[in-house]
Chain A
Amino acid sequence: MMIIATVIVVFVFYFITNGKNLNPNSIDALISQNAYVFILGTGMLLCILTGGNIDLSVGSVVCLAGGVGAIMMRMMKGIPGLAWPVAVIAMLAMGLLVGLWHGYWIAYVKVPPFIATLVGMLAFRGLANIIMKGEAVEVDNKAFLNIFGGGSDCYIPDFLKFLAPESSLNVTCFVTGIVLAAGYAVFTFFNRTRLIKKGYKVDSFVAVIIKTLLIVAVVIWFSYKLAGYRGIPTALIWIALILGIFAYITTKTTLGRNLYAVGGNEKATRLSGIDTRKVMFSAYTLMGVLSGFASIVNIARLQGSTPTYGVGYEMDAIAACFIGGASAYGGTGSIGGVIIGAALMGIINQGMSLASTPVNYQKVVKGIVLIVAVLFDVIMQMKRKGGKKKATSAAATEKGGANA
């Protein structure tokens, strides 16, 4: 459903902005500007799955970890800063520490997540200010910027240019897209045959073909657009990596399963022999690590850190999850939903910017989009219940008739 909504929104803005929103550079900007939403949204989803719990501190954590990283890489009185891998590890470690801290209070001491992370939101913002002494810190480490999606050269070099030297497209990008799409298609069909051989049930052939074709088309279109600008932004690689890993965790591992189960019925989960405290702890720990990672991408793109970075990021992440269909009561939601939610918000933001909508109106629109998405969820649920009730009363009358 949300996919259709996204497509509609894209077309609406296509007309409003005279097609500017589908220009290659717009698509490129969409990715790099919203990298943090994808990453934080992923972590937030884990927390929301456990029962609608949220983490309010992520914006402050991004700022704190980013500040630490920026300071470590800074040149001081002619002495070069620390090597960027050290800073990266430090930022991730910072996020991990915060995650462990929150996880401990929430899972084992049973502090309500809202309070625990509100405390984090205030305290870590303060710490960030203290560390940075209230000033902006610039990051000019070229290697760091290129790798994590900042500055002007943060693209995968076009080393396949020799294949078509006179093309205006970025050949590497386009080829990668085609290879990925082909690889996906081949894998799908081989896997299907393998499963049939093992005697497992599989989806019908037509359904698989349609799904595969759609995915292949989107991937190729996307890579074509990016190739028309400057190629694959490095930020995209990181986003894809994070989303891939967490899509795997949520669907294929016991940890992922337990996250859904705790949110769906905590008691049942406990009675199934699962340590629900550990599950909560893991969710917040992973959220912390992802905040650390988001801070890396963030200071790279902004080429520095200031004590005000990351304000409101938690709300973007939460909104992405809910727009993507996660339930505010926990137990449902997916990484796919987060992708859609984050993309939809990004598209709306960008579309409005291109159409020069005043900033304050943009906020109002964002708010309306969120309530519409949630309303949609609520109404769908009510409908389901109503339908069921009708069916029941029909059944009841039937029974009554039989008795008579």
Chain B
Amino acid sequence: MAKVLLEMKSITKTFPGVKALDNVNLKVEEGEIHALVGENGAGKSTLMNVLSGIYPYGTYDGDIVYDGEVCKFHNIKDSEKKGIVIIHQELALVPYMTIGENMFLGNEQGSKWCIDWYKTYAEADKYLAMVGLSDSSKTLIKDIGTGKQQLVEIAKALAKNAKLLILDEPTSSLNETDSRALLDLMKKLQREENLTMIIISHKLNEVSYVADKITVVRDGSTIETLDAKTDDISETRIIKGMVGREITDRFPKRHDVEIGDVMMEVKDWTVYHPEFSERKVCDNISINVRKGEVVGIYGLMGAGRTELAMSIFGRSYGIGISGDLILRGENVTLKSPKQAIEAGLAYVTEDRKGNGLVLSNSILRNTTLANLGGVSKNTFIDKDKEYEVAVEYVKKLKTKTPSVEQLVGNLSGGNQQKVLLAKWMFANPDVLILDEPTRGIDVGAKYEIYCIINDLAKAGKSVVMISSELPEVIGMSDRIYIMNQAKIVGEMKASEATQENIMACIVGVSGEASADSKGSEA
């Protein structure tokens, strides 16, 4: 048995109001690839941030034992000195600097007073060769693709003399070929450099492919650790560990809602990333929603759900958008959110504090913001009418607040979400796209939001609900689309959906996609 390189003992980390990690234990042996899997928000990234010193010693309970000694990291520099290097999901590269400059950022070559650029680039080339990247180290980061950028990140970590490399969702933005190349590189580094690695991933097929051990994290606790040699590590087995909870009657039933004609249809919708313009964030997507219907879009974070919704909503995200948008049977082109609202669309953002509400304004002002025309005449706002509207919605949605003059920033998450819904309901749309409508709010408020959704459907609105919570999608929708890696990978009636077969859609797509790419190569 190999030596234990890292042991995290009963780590507990609390954020105000939330216990993100609860008594987590993790043991990693030298030279192994250890995978951490779990649903969004299960606590994987938090755990790695504790390990790398981003959450400094003292802000959590428990011990980190690394290479036989208890470590007290106060910042990233401390953990890097020990050889623990983390590669974040969002790449930490400076676009207008060269590969070489990026690799040695914070780790400059030469003496303290003089950077030796020739040495920097020579060293950079050495490590680039190690990760199999043939580009010159003088290329600017912005000029290479995401796959190569990920390799640069790994080379950067190697240049820091990493002994334990943590990769947080390294393949989330890569295509199939690049992903496979990366996983093979991991295996090669394990073999040739005896590097220990921890990989966090949602893609279970990749995990089974590359990992020696798999630890499942759920709701802030480690559930189990599977050993590739002795245990069954098939994807269904892992999913069982990840899901592991039952759906109880947390969802109000909808009765007597008549589902009518198709209200909105999206055909062959393709969107590119605004910065990495070679990356598709939505790939040939076709969906539709009927009058009175609640359609769920399930997908993990980064699947392209928000990008899809925002690109439909007046092209507020992405570039190079192509495809058809058909509303009430007519082909329409919506070039701005203003046009989208006028056409009867509403997009209720997942980021209510950033994109949804003006926190420093009152409930009243937020409620009427998207439809000021509804309370004004010739651009003059009718204050009395505005007040009536705000009060009406506070009553209707049971928003808990002393008055409509209350600043939105002072409300709880659930009540903020209600104000956000009120704002869009007042805009009187036909189609509401709700992006993670219950994120970060408590169970009671969730139930009330579900009731509002049911009322909307009853009133003949079409609702598209984007969510990464499986029980919610299954419990609330009439029909479910499953989205993964910028594509729709499945569609099913809610009555037929189970957590397992939805997850199976997500897992299945990678195999199909690789078959596709092979096909086109041939």
- Given A201-B121, A253-B113: A271 in contact with B101 (beta carbons within 8 A): no
B97 to chain A, nearest CB (A): 6
When the two chains form their complex, are residues B76 and A273 in contact, meaning their CB atoms are under 8 A apart?
A: yes
When the two chains form their complex, are residues A274 and B96 in contact, meaning their CB atoms are under 8 A apart?
A: no
Instruction: Give residues of chain A (381-404) contacting chain B, Cβ–Cβ below 8 Å.
Output: 385, 388-389, 391-393, 395-396, 399, 402-403
| Contact partner, A385, options B88, B277, B278, Cβ 8 Å | B277
Instruction: Give residues of chain B (100-126) contacting chain A, Cβ–Cβ below 8 Å.
Output: 101, 105-108, 110, 112-115, 117-119, 121-122
When the two chains form their complex, are residues B97 and A260 in contact, meaning their CB atoms are under 8 A apart?
A: yes
In the bound complex, CA of A261 to CA of B104 (Å): 11
Instruction: Give residues of chain A (308-334) contacting chain B, Cβ–Cβ below 8 Å.
Output: 331-332
Instruction: Give the chain A neighbours of B117 by CB distance below 8 A.
Output: 251-252
Instruction: Give the chain B neighbours of A273 by CB distance below 8 A.
Output: 75-77, 80, 106
Interface residue stretch chosen among A139-147, A162-170, A192-200, A335-343:
A192-200
A101 to chain B, nearest CB (A): 27
Instruction: Give the chain A neighbours of B94 by CB distance below 8 A.
Output: 260-261, 264-265, 268-269, 331
When the two chains form their complex, are residues B272 and A399 in contact, meaning their CB atoms are under 8 A apart?
A: no
When the two chains form their complex, are residues A389 and B101 in contact, meaning their CB atoms are under 8 A apart?
A: no
Answer whether residue B332 sits at the interface, using C-beta atoms and an 8 A cutoff. no
When the two chains form their complex, are residues A261 and B105 in contact, meaning their CB atoms are under 8 A apart?
A: yes
When the two chains form their complex, are residues B277 and A271 in contact, meaning their CB atoms are under 8 A apart?
A: no
Instruction: Give residues of chain A (269-321) contacting chain B, Cβ–Cβ below 8 Å.
Output: 269, 271-274
Instruction: Give the chain B neighbours of A360 by CB distance below 8 A.
Output: none
- Assign chain B's interface to a size class: 35 or more
A162 to chain B, nearest CB (A): 39
Instruction: Give the chain B neighbours of A331 by CB distance below 8 A.
Output: 94, 96
Instruction: Give the chain A neighbours of B119 by CB distance below 8 A.
Output: 200
Instruction: Give the chain A neighbours of B115 by CB distance below 8 A.
Output: 251-254, 257
When the two chains form their complex, are residues A389 and B118 in contact, meaning their CB atoms are under 8 A apart?
A: no
Answer whether residue A267 sits at the interface, using C-beta atoms and an 8 A cutoff. yes
B134 to chain A, nearest CB (A): 14
What is the size, in residues, of chain A's interface with B at 8 Å between Cβ atoms? 36
When the two chains form their complex, are residues A271 and B122 in contact, meaning their CB atoms are under 8 A apart?
A: no
Instruction: Give the chain A neighbours of B270 by CB distance below 8 A.
Output: 396
Instruction: Give the chain B neighbours of A271 by CB distance below 8 A.
Output: 76, 88, 92
Instruction: Give the chain B neighbours of A264 by CB distance below 8 A.
Output: 94-97
In the bound complex, CA of A253 to CA of B115 (Å): 5
- Given A200-B118, A260-B97, A273-B77: A268 in contact with B92 (beta carbons within 8 A): yes
Instruction: Give the chain A neighbours of B92 by CB distance below 8 A.
Output: 265, 267-268, 271-272
In the bound complex, CA of A402 to CA of B93 (Å): 33
Can you name the residue of chain B whose Cβ is closest to the Cβ of A332? B96
Which of B112, B114, B118: most chain A Cβ within 10 A?
B118
Instruction: Give the chain A neighbours of B497 by CB distance below 8 A.
Output: none
Answer whether residue B520 sits at the interface, using C-beta atoms and an 8 A cutoff. yes
Can you name the residue of chain B whose Cβ is closest to the Cβ of A248? B114
In the bound complex, CA of A391 to CA of B76 (Å): 39
Answer whether residue B320 sits at the interface, using C-beta atoms and an 8 A cutoff. yes
Answer whether residue B185 sits at the interface, using C-beta atoms and an 8 A cutoff. no
| Contact partner, A200, options B91, B106, B122, B272, Cβ 8 Å | B122
B95 to chain A, nearest CB (A): 6
A204 to chain B, nearest CB (A): 14
Instruction: Give the chain A neighbours of B110 by CB distance below 8 A.
Output: 252
When the two chains form their complex, are residues B95 and A392 in contact, meaning their CB atoms are under 8 A apart?
A: no
Instruction: Give the chain B neighbours of A395 by CB distance below 8 A.
Output: 278
| Contact partner, B105, options A200, A251, A274, A332, Cβ 8 Å | A274
A260 to chain B, nearest CB (A): 7
When the two chains form their complex, are residues A392 and B278 in contact, meaning their CB atoms are under 8 A apart?
A: yes
In the bound complex, CA of A273 to CA of B122 (Å): 23
In the bound complex, CA of A342 to CA of B80 (Å): 42
Instruction: Give the chain A neighbours of B118 by CB distance below 8 A.
Output: 195, 198, 200-201
When the two chains form their complex, are residues B277 and A389 in contact, meaning their CB atoms are under 8 A apart?
A: yes
- 8 A-B residue pairs with CB within 8 Å: A195-B118, A200-B122, A260-B94, A264-B97, A265-B95, A272-B107, A389-B272, A403-B519
* Nearest 4 Cβ contacts at the A-B interface: A264-B94, A268-B92, A272-B106, A271-B92
* Chain A residues in the interface with B (C-beta under 8 A): 195, 198-201, 248, 251-254, 257-258, 260-261, 264-265, 267-269, 271-274, 331-332, 385, 388-389, 391-393, 395-396, 399, 402-403
12 additional A-B pairs beyond A251-B115, A261-B105, beta carbons within 8 Å, are A195-B118, A198-B118, A201-B122, A257-B105, A257-B115, A260-B96, A268-B105, A272-B107, A273-B75, A273-B77, A395-B278, A403-B520
